[in-house]
Structure 1
Amino acid sequence: MARYVVTFDTPDAGVLESEAPELLAGYGFSTDTYFPRLGIGVVDGERDQLASLRARCGELRRPMTFTQELTYHAISGGEASVRPGAPPFSDTADLTWGLQAVGIDAARAAGQSGAGVRVAVLDTGLDRHHPDFSARAVVTQSFVPGEGPYDAHGHGTHCAGTACGPWAPSSGPGYGVAPEAELYAGKVLGDEGSGSDTTILAGIDWALQNECHIISMSLGADVREVHPPYVAAGRRALEQGALVIAAAGNNAQRSAGDPGFVGAPANSPYVLAVAAVGPDLRTADFSARSSPHDGGEVNVAAPGVEVHSAWPEPERYRSISGTSMAAPHVAGLAALICGATGVRGQDLWDRLLDHVAALPQEDPLDVGAGLAKAPETPSW
């Protein structure tokens, strides 16, 4: 017996809410971890048993696939390569280099801070006692059995800080892209930094239940193949007006000739994959390159090297690197654009790509459309 993810990839609400769970139950599978907003269930069973269910779904013309459950990890700890010469950006007393690079001054000048937009950061949780979050109305939830929503790892607090932290924190430079967005911190990775399809899909389902506009995931599994659950989950999210953004992955070692590849869930065609650049706006050594299949491409790049953000007390702040640090920059930018224009889902994806800055020294296979940026002031 093994654990499998069963995906019914259809927009038909009747199938998702009623027929699919009935089919699962009819073949002896538990529906305790079936997510009707996504049409995905996680079950224990035998491959032959699932093959019989798939055959029946084929007879009924119901799209169904099953794959073994994967394990995912927080994507961080990438080694930053250093190139000669002074980079164009560096942290100042006012702003991190990342906020400068994405053009946050244009948002500040326009008074756009993400107010009214709900951003779900699905990661290792959040330190609610951090002085930059303790006075804010933050919604937290844990999907990791036996663990509460507190972030004992640090990765989740850092990512939440980049997406939704303050422009004027208790100390140090401003580091959050969308400081007035409504933060939903879902713990889908445990205190050791790992999780499963079960915890991650539960977090996505929760974010959709709470009508979050943006879902940011700085996590991944180093598998080249597209994992069907995130094809369906990304598609259902877009249909419901939510944009899923994920880190492309840290499996490259470019200095050794290995460009890596985009892993799951970022390699879903319906999930926006984010690569990392450094303060010199060159592709980070660890940042994964586009894969040659649909969905495997990097869509956009963002700051991901030596990024300063929140960290659980008592340390309070830390600078780390990874495509994990790039993804929440884009999530924050999406919140700014959503708050200013009201666009959601696929329209928000398209609007994000309308405001990138070209990176002419970089290969589009590495950075996608270019560097994610806030719109210039007249564009708001």
Structure 2
Amino acid sequence: EIDHEGSDIRAIKLVVSITLGITLVLAAGYLGAVLLSDGAILLRPSEVALERHTTYHELVQPAPETLTGNGVVACIVDSGIALDHTDFESVNLVGWKDFINGNSDPYDDHGHGTSMAGLLVANGWLKGMAKEVDLLVAKALGSDGSGSDTLVADAVDWCVENGADVISLSLGGAPNILPFSIGSGRTSGDAANDAIDAGVYVVAAAGNDGEDDDGDVAHPSSEAGVISVGGVTIKGTHWSGSSKGDNNGRLLPLPILMPRGDPNKKPEVVAPAEGVPVLTEDGGWGIADGTSAATVYVTGALCLLLEQKPELKPEASNGADTVDTVKRWLMDSAVPEEGQTTHDDYYGYGLLNVSGLIDLATQA
């Protein structure tokens, strides 16, 4: 989505937005209740929701439970975090920055950020992928779920400055049609590329274009070194809302795209994206559709990998070369669809395989 502010071409900026639908569990039959001895009622996710949560974790072939992300710094750029949720009681928040309103205390006036953070660090009824990471949260999306690409770029820079090993971007926008415009400003793609050059892993949503696909994955997941994540259903099949990657190159429509090669074809991998159980900012639980959720699964996998192999962290790595190596392991460990022999523009190199990724890295 391009936001034209007036007729001055220098004012053109990219607007990124979250592309995840949240359905309240109460309306979807995903809420359960327990009657306590004192007569109080405790709300909790239903057994159906918990079973779905477990099924999705098993789908991506989880790492050993001894790996929790301990010692790894993950940064989520989103709409914030509601720390008062009971499933966040043990979260280790080591940094917070509000690029929207400048508030010093963490909050979430939309809910998307809380849902994404829960997929990574929840440790209650729902269990995050890497629940013991050191968490940084940058609020760069407002109460309507959107924000300027420049603010997202600033947030990515902040993540790097504060020691992030992995940056999770469950957001996206249309590619910048005029990236060369004078005064167009620093983009999230610029910031992501600088982070990658420093050895930081950047994971971003492929997008939820579905039938309205514009021909390529969302920005900034379209950047070569960024790990673009598409979506699957609970059966591991392609989720119909997931965006398609353009890997053959094109001159028109703008922007010009060069052909992509391995391990940077888009999307790189797919992960859970349909009816994913999540936390909500009001202290409850919900279900979510979207590659936003899929993104966090891959973020979590990388955090577990870096705990297992700390020499792959930015401060010990060879920068972008190490990121490229890890992307090749991600590619080689992914599980393709039945009959798939090469990269697929929807299914990527295959379904995220967490244990396979860690095994490949350990054998290297």
Q: TM-score range by the shorter chain?
A: 0.7 to 0.9
* Structure 1 pair 265–227 and aligned structure 2 pair: CA distance change class (3 A): farther
* Partner of residue 198, structure 1: 150
* Partner of residue 346, structure 2: 366
- Quote the offset at 1:193 in angstroms: 0.4
For residues 110-156 of structure 1, the C-alpha deviation after alignment (integer angstroms, 9 at most, x for no partner) is x1111111111101100011112244321222111366641121111
- 1:285 matches 2:240: yes
- 1:129 matches 2:84: yes
Gaps of 5+ in 2: 24-47, 181-186, 250-256, 314-322
Identity score, percent: 26
The answer to whether the 8 Å contact 2:172/2:205 transfers is yes
The answer to whether the 8 Å contact 1:252/1:259 transfers is no
Cα distance in structure 1, aligned partners of 2:179 and 2:350: 26
The answer to whether the 8 Å contact 1:121/1:215 transfers is yes
Cα distance in structure 2, aligned partners of 1:145 and 1:361: 50
1:235 is aligned with what amino acid? N
* Structure 1 pair 135–70 and aligned structure 2 pair: CA distance change class (3 A): same
Cα distance in structure 2, aligned partners of 1:131 and 1:180: 16
Q: Partner of 1:370: helix, strand, or coil? A: coil
2:295 to 312, 318, 327: 327
- 1:357 matches 2:327: no
- 1:236 matches 2:204: no
Cα distance in structure 1, aligned partners of 2:339 and 2:102: 48
2:274 to 305, 317, 322: 305
2:169 to 217, 235, 240: 217
- 1:157 matches 2:117: no
Cα distance in structure 2, aligned partners of 1:143 and 1:244: 19
Q: What's the TM-score once normalised by structure 2's chain length?
A: 0.74
* Structure 1 pair 153–290 and aligned structure 2 pair: CA distance change class (3 A): same
The answer to whether the 8 Å contact 1:141/1:186 transfers is yes
Gaps of 5+ in 1: 5-43, 51-66, 80-89
* Structure 1 pair 91–358 and aligned structure 2 pair: CA distance change class (3 A): farther
- Quote the offset at 1:259 in angstroms: 7.8
Aligned length: 299
1:74 is aligned with what amino acid? I
2:325 to 344, 347, 362: 347
Q: How does 1:1-380 map to 2 (within 5 A)?
A: 68-77=12-21, 92-93=50-51, 95-104=53-62, 106-108=63-65, 111-138=66-93, 139-145=95-101, 149-166=106-123, 169=124, 171=125, 174-223=126-175, 229-253=187-211, 261-291=216-246, 292=249, 293-294=257-258, 297-314=266-283, 316-342=284-310, 343-344=312-313, 345-360=323-338, 364-376=344-356, 380=362
* Structure 1 pair 277–137 and aligned structure 2 pair: CA distance change class (3 A): same
1:266 is aligned with what amino acid? S
The answer to whether the 8 Å contact 2:53/2:277 transfers is no
- Quote the offset at 1:301 in angstroms: 0.6
- Quote the offset at 1:163 in angstroms: 2.2
Cα distance in structure 1, aligned partners of 2:195 and 2:207: 21
Q: Partner of 1:335: helix, strand, or coil? A: helix
Q: What's the TM-score once normalised by structure 1's chain length?
A: 0.71
Cα distance in structure 2, aligned partners of 1:144 and 1:161: 21
* Structure 1 pair 69–226 and aligned structure 2 pair: CA distance change class (3 A): closer
For residues 255-302 of structure 1, the C-alpha deviation after alignment (integer angstroms, 9 at most, x for no partner) is xxx585312111111211100000121111110011243467211111
